[in-house]
């Protein structure tokens, strides 16, 4: 038996395009001599469909794709294992299942429902789906096949399991020959290794090979990296498919079922695993996120404000690499506080990238705002209000150009700034997509150096000069914030690791600093509610994966 994995990039609700990809995958696998083609979780409609699942028409169209797949399996003489929502015939419980269809010779031979429905971080599956309560293997061409869907394999090897059931435990007495897993497992920079470890834990527990299909591509802020896996019954990675690429590959089952036994951990050959260097993964993920956000929305061109600082330089470079320099417009908007080197550095970057640029002074607009407000501001001193007027003047200009010419405005705030509220609502925080909102400032420096690894693209002066918003004379970020290396460590402990203040202090951080930073994070939740979607590259990004109340007193 030969089994193909179709690692594909779907588009939520774009049923015609998704079916075209599925059809092409079936044809390619047929040409490779496959007997079965494994597709991803909810492949017919895209993942995560969220509240589209509440529309009967959406479900009807999903099931129409299944009918088309049935015809293709008959035409090609090939079986398909594919993810789609299924109607629950039982009145009690949720109306849908998240299902894996096994289709062959034009008929549905088996439907396996997902049992473990994640309801944490970005996941909200129990909002829509009923968990499976019946577990059976499917018989095909003399083999017994266990079908599992994504989370179904993640409840083992955990000291604090989230669920009381392991679907594969329920099927053990049926003596499956191998497992097929349909996944839509989102990217984070540490997740690829976690994926291998979990698949291996299943192989070791159930003594059978696993073929694991993950989706690829970005859906708004959620990015999927692919990295589909084939692991033999001894726990060796036979293949790890490319990250951020669509590909169809076919594998012989026999050597997976009967591999040479391991003589120990050292016998695990890691040569078939892909490199997992953090900055390379983040770079590729952000490129994928930008490209798919624009492509799936039907836009081609981006615009952003280029300040001469690190964050806007990084965002511009990523956008140029993702969309092509000819599709990116940088706008320099100097004020009386802008330094000559910021303008010169920006112009050097624009020249290096070859993108469009404009220079539009905000001085007149800013002075008009101050003049208009002079009667109300009489007797008050220059403070953050006037700083924010500059940022908002820039935001108005950028949005005007966006509206006039159909650009999507890219937000350039990093995760450190978003965390502590170091940004101006309706100014530098506006935009249609936040490119680096899940990348800490210290990581932004690393990412710039990664981009420059083969030659200077981002001018070195942008990377080495002290960060500054340039909204008042001689301003530095360090005037308002701790050094980013320290700030980011505290933020990581609080946001990613969910450590409380005393735990962070016990780890060696200054108590006054910890209390100040944590208060800033909590008090600025209202700002993050109003920011554009942030491309997710970590285990805990701002947005739907971190749901905090605005009106709360905890650490406030």
Domain boundaries, the chain: 2-256, 281-465+524-528
pLDDT confidence of 413, banded at 50, 70, 90?
very high
The answer to whether the beta carbons of residues 430 and 411 sit under 8 Å apart is yes
Rg (CA), the chain: 26
Do residues 205 and 158 touch, judged by C-beta distance below 8 A? Answer: no
Active-site annotation holder among 45, 115, 150, 288: 150
441 is known as an active-site residue? no
Helix (H) or strand (E) holding 86: strand 79-87
pLDDT at residue number 496? 97
Average pLDDT (420-436) is: 96
Which CATH class for the 2-256 domain?
Answer: alpha beta
Neighbouring C-beta atoms of residue 309, cutoff 10 Å: 20
Q: Which residues pair with 240 in a beta bridge?
A: 229
Percentage of the chain lying above the pLDDT 90 cut: 91
Average pLDDT, the chain: 95
Peptide bond into 48 cis (omega under 30): yes
Task: Please give the distance of CA 387 from its chain centroid, rounded to a whole number.
Answer: 33
User: Which of these, 286, 308, 321, lies nearest to 459 by C-alpha position?
Assistant: 308
Active site residue 430: no
User: Would the pLDDT of 125 be above 80?
Assistant: yes
- Kind of pairing, strands 302-305 and 138-140? unpaired
Q: Which residues contact 203 (CB under 8 A, 6 or more apart)?
A: 209, 210, 231, 232, 233, 234, 235
How confident is the model over 323-355, as pLDDT tens digits? 999 999 999 999 887 666 789 999 999 999 999
Catalytic site includes residue 448: no
Note whether 218 and 74 are within 8 A (CB): no
Q: What pLDDT shows up at residue 270?
A: 78
Predicted confidence band of residue 152 (pLDDT cuts 50, 70, 90): very high
The answer to whether domain 281-465+524-528 has CATH 3.40.50.360 is no
Q: Are 229 and 255 in contact (CB under 8 A)?
A: no
Predicted TM-score (pTM) of the model is 0.95
Mean pLDDT value across residues 312-322: 98
Active-site choice (21, 70, 114, 441): 114
C-alpha 308: how far from its chain's center? 27
Q: Which two tokens stand for residue 217?
A: 């591509």
What is the b/e burial string over 344-382, where b = at least 16 CB atoms within 10 angstroms of the residue's CB? Answer: ebbbbbbebbebebeebebeebbeebeeeeeeeeeeeee
Enclosing H/E stretch for 239 = strand 237-240
Select from 331, 299, 286, 327 the least CA-distant residue to 312: 331
């Amino acid at each position: 038996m030969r089994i193909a994995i179709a690692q594909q990039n779907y588009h939520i609700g774009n049923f015609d395009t998704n079916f075209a990809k599925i059809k092409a995958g079936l044809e390619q696998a047929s040409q490779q001599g496959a007997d079965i083609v494994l597709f991803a979780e909810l492949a017919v409609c895209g993942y995560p469909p969220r509240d589209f699942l509440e529309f009967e028409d959406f479900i009807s169209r999903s099931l129409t794709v299944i009918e088309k797949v049935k015809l293709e399996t008959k035409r090609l003489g090939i079986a398909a294992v594919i993810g789609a929502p299924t109607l629950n015939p039982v009145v009690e419980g949720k109306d849908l299942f998240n299902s894996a269809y096994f289709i062959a010779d034009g008929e549905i031979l088996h439907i396996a429902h997902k049992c473990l429905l994640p309801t944490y971080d970005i996941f909200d599956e129990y909002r829509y789906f009923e968990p499976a309560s019946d577990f059976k293997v499917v018989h095909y061409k003399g083999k017994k096949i266990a079908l599992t869907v994504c989370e179904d394999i993640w409840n083992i090897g955990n000291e604090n399991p989230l669920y009381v059931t392991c679907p594969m435990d329920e099927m053990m007495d049926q003596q499956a020959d191998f497992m097929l897993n349909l996944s839509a497992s989102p990217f984070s920079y540490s997740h690829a290794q976690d994926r291998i470890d979990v698949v291996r834990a299943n192989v070791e527990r159930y003594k059978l090979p696993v073929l694991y299909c993950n989706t690829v591509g970005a859906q708004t802020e959620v990015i999927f990296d692919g990295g589909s896996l084939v692991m033999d019954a001894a726990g060796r990675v036979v293949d790890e498919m490319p990250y951020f690429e669509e590909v169809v590959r076919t594998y012989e089952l026999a050597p997976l079922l009967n591999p040479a036994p391991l003589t120990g951990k050292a016998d695990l050959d890691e040569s078939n695993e892909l490199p997992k260097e953090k900055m390379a993964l983040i770079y590729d993920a952000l490129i994928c996120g930008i490209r798919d956000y624009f492509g799936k929305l039907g836009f081609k061109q981006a615009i952003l404000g280029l300040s001469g600082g690190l964050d806007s330089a990084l965002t511009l470079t990523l956008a140029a690499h993702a969309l092509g320099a000819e599709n990116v417009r940088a706008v320099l908007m100097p004020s009386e506080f802008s330094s000559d080197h910021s303008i010169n550095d920006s112009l050097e970057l624009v020249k290096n990238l070859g993108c469009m640029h404009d220079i539009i002074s905000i001085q007149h607009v800013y002075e008009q705002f101050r003049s208009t407000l002079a009667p109300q501001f009489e007797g008050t001193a220059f403070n953050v209000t006037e700083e924010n007027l500059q940022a908002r003047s820039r935001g108005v200009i950028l949005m005007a150009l966006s509206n006039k010419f159909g650009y999507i405005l890219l937000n350039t705030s990093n995760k450190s700034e978003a965390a502590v509220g170091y940004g101006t609502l309706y100014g530098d925080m506006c935009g249609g997509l936040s490119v680096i909102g899940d990348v800490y400032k210290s990581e932004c420096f690393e990412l710039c150096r990664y981009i420059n690894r083969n030659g200077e693209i981002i001018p070195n002066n942008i990377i080495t000069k002290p960060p500054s918003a340039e909204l008042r004379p001689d301003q530095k970020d360090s005037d308002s914030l701790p050094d980013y290396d320290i700030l980011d460590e505290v933020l990581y402990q609080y946001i990613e690791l969910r450590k409380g203040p005393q735990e962070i202090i016990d780890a060696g951080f200054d108590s006054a600093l910890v209390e100040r930073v944590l208060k800033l994070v909590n008090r600025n939740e209202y700002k993050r509610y109003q920011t554009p979607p942030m491309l997710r590259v970590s285990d805990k990004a701002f947005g739907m994966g971190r749901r905090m109340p605005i009106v709360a007193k905890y650490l406030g």
